[in-house]
Amino acid sequence: MKNTDNSRFLEDKYYSKTHRYWMTGHIMQHSLKIIVIMSLILVSTVLQVYIPLLFGQAIDTALPNSDYSLLKSLSVMIMSIGIIKGILSYISGIMNDQVAQDVEAQVRIEFFDNLASKNMDFFNQAKVGDLMSQATQDTQNMTFVISPGVRSVVGVVVGLIATFVAMYSLSPVLSFVFMIILPFYIFFMDRYARALQPISLERQERLANINASLQENITGIRVVRTFSAQDREKRIFADDIKKYEEILIKRGALSALFIPTLLLGLVTSAIYLLGVYMIEASQLGLKELIIFGISLPVSILTVGDLIAFIALTGLLLWPTNLLRFLLDATVLGFAGASRIFETLMIEADIVSGDTVLENVRGDISFKNVTFSYDKGGLRAIDNFSLEIAAGEIVAIIGPTGSGKSTVGKLINRLYDVDKGEILIDGVNVIDIELSQLRRMVGIIEQDVFLFSTSIRANIAYGMHELSEDGIVNAAKMAQAHEFISEFKDGYDTILGERGVTLSGGQKQRVAMARTFVINPKILVLDDSTSAIDAATEERIQSAMTQLLKNRTTIIITHRLSTLRKADKIVFMRKGAIEIIGTHDELISSFEPYRQIFSGYIELPAITGASE
């Protein structure tokens, strides 16, 4: 049964166990190709193992009898096998890479889609550099498990089996000697993999720390330079690099102690020496050979058989060394998969409702809402109740940390309330289809984010079919058309990252134009004119007069000109509403409100009880 979570690409069962099982699920979507790859490698490996046997036949039969016809035939067979093996390896390699790239692409898309479903609590705690590392380096490492992982593992396993069968056909006695090291071979291979796993995971985490540090320094370069903190940041970054270097050295030292290669070399030497003794013993007519007190039966062994046997053990050197690489790559890939899977399994607290509102009016009702960013911690909103009628302009004011901005974030469910409920047209926001909710609630914040693309694309963001006239009209309403037209490329001007090529006021006007385009029924302006001069603000306010008709508006501001136009003003303190009134009512009766403007306007006499 397919999971209802749209950010999941596989069946539920693949998310119920470990990261290895989840990764297997992605690979098994290409099961037919995997079967073909394994079949091609099976044939290719068997053909490779057959080549030493042909060499042995040439030495024992063709050369002693000067049978050049047989020698030529054997040479053609060896060449043909080599060509066929090369073709099969080429085809299997291409198919394996296709599977790997398909899995890598799908995992990246799944990861990106999953991040889009996370709530803001997740992003408040996560490091951007770490997430970037998971989406790039960790995902790329996963592909090594698939390619060359799949064909290499199949090749190694089939190669070991086929090689041993061929060795046994040449000499059961020598094969028995080789079998003696097999338990030690497997034991040290397992020890190596177990020791490598925590080191590989730590390596990925160290690399993620480097990426996070680099990302923060590039993003905050202005702050770094303003405070002349380059040396400090350099020391921190150098320390991260040093720790990463140490883990790589530790990993390299472990890899250098790969004992299976040494064991194979020693047993090959022992088999060669034993083979020579057996050839000599068979020529002398001996029935058994005593070595270190052990009696070994003497079987017929030719020089060609011994050379073929040694060649076969030589074939094992390649899969043994390859196994070291595969273990390194596989453990590293699974470490990356573990980090990605851990992020995927962080549940999104915000789940879309399924109610679609028709003919939205814009009535908003807060009923005993309580919310804290840190669950169980300080309450940003505390038992907050407020009724806002459709089309009403409500200003929210209060000291820093009073919870003003949080109110807007709760309306469009950037965060969900801890207690209470928020209703739009009588429907709880958690029941409204999430994409519709966020289209009907437009938010313009003081900290504007613009994408590093054209001004045109930023204005039309979310409305890609918008006409040129629609873009220009939105820019004019936001008083942005004039400065945009002054750029050489006009609306096609490419902005730097986060819109750094624009001034603060210009960025806010582009952001306002972007909001005008989606035509939200509810508008939240969070100090959105703070970076705009008074003359420009007056022009914007004039344009917004028509825009705000039949639209519910929440304005978070301390600007007197805006407060005077509000239907009512909500004064907040410590997450709760302290008083509600009009500007005239509060300026003449509420002392905390009066103090905000005492420095630059003449205050009327207090007519009510002050607080």
Domains of the chain, CATH where assigned: 12-201+256-344 (1.20.1560.10), 364-597 (3.40.50.300)
Q: Read off the pLDDT of each residue in 431-453 and give the average, rounded to a whole number.
A: 85
How far is Cα 429 from Cα 355, in angstroms, rounded to an integer? Answer: 9
Q: Read off the pLDDT of each residue in 346-355 and give the average, rounded to a whole number.
A: 79
How far is Cα 453 from Cα 70, in angstroms, rounded to an integer? Answer: 71
Distances in Å between the Cα of 400 and the Cα atoms of 382, 386, 574, 575 are 15, 20, 9, 10
Q: Is the pLDDT of residue 66 over 50?
A: yes
Q: If we measure between CA atoms, which residue out of 315, 316, 278 comes closest to residue 297?
A: 278
Q: Read off the pLDDT of each residue in 141-145 and give the average, rounded to a whole number.
A: 81
Helix, coil or strand: residue 482:
helix
Residue with the bigger pLDDT between 261 and 378: it is 378
Taken in order 438, 443, 447, 448, the sign of the CA dihedral is positive
Task: Tally the C-alpha atoms within 13 A of residue 479's C-alpha that lie toward its C-beta.
Answer: 18
Per residue in 448-471, pLDDT (tens digit) is: 788 888 899 889 887 767 888 889
Q: Read off the pLDDT of each residue in 583-597 and give the average, rounded to a whole number.
A: 86
Q: Is the pLDDT of residue 57 over 60?
A: yes
Structure tokens at 263: 């064991």
Helix, coil or strand: residue 442:
strand
Residue with the bigger pLDDT between 104 and 310: it is 104
Residue with the bigger pLDDT between 101 and 212: it is 101
Q: Is the pLDDT of residue 547 over 70?
A: no
DSSP secondary structure letter of residue 14: G
Q: Read off the pLDDT of each residue in 111-134 and give the average, rounded to a whole number.
A: 82
What's the confidence (pLDDT) of residue 564? 83
Question: Per-residue DSSP letters for 174-220?
Answer: HHHHHHHTHHHHHHHHHHHHHHHHHHHHHHHHHHHHHHHHHHHHHHT
DSSP secondary structure letter of residue 12: G
Per residue in 2-39, pLDDT (tens digit) is: 344 556 778 888 888 888 889 888 888 888 998 998 88
What's the confidence (pLDDT) of residue 541? 64
Q: Is the pLDDT of residue 374 over 60?
A: yes
User: H-helix or E-strand containing 555?
Assistant: strand 552-556
Q: Is the pLDDT of residue 235 over 80?
A: yes
How far is Cα 321 from Cα 356, in angstroms, rounded to an integer? Answer: 61
Q: Read off the pLDDT of each residue in 431-447 and give the average, rounded to a whole number.
A: 86
Which position has the token pair 């889009």?
Answer: 116
With cut-offs at 50, 70 and 90, classify the pLDDT of residue 227: low
Of 86-100, 171-185, 228-242, the range with the highest mean pLDDT is 86-100
Residue with the bigger pLDDT between 427 and 602: it is 427
Residue with the bigger pLDDT between 184 and 29: it is 29
Amino acid at 214: L
With cut-offs at 50, 70 and 90, classify the pLDDT of residue 63: confident
What's the confidence (pLDDT) of residue 286? 64
Q: Is the pLDDT of residue 322 over 70?
A: no
Q: Read off the pLDDT of each residue in 245-270 and give the average, rounded to a whole number.
A: 74
Q: Read off the pLDDT of each residue in 392-414 and give the average, rounded to a whole number.
A: 89
pTM over 0.95: no
Helix, coil or strand: residue 514:
helix
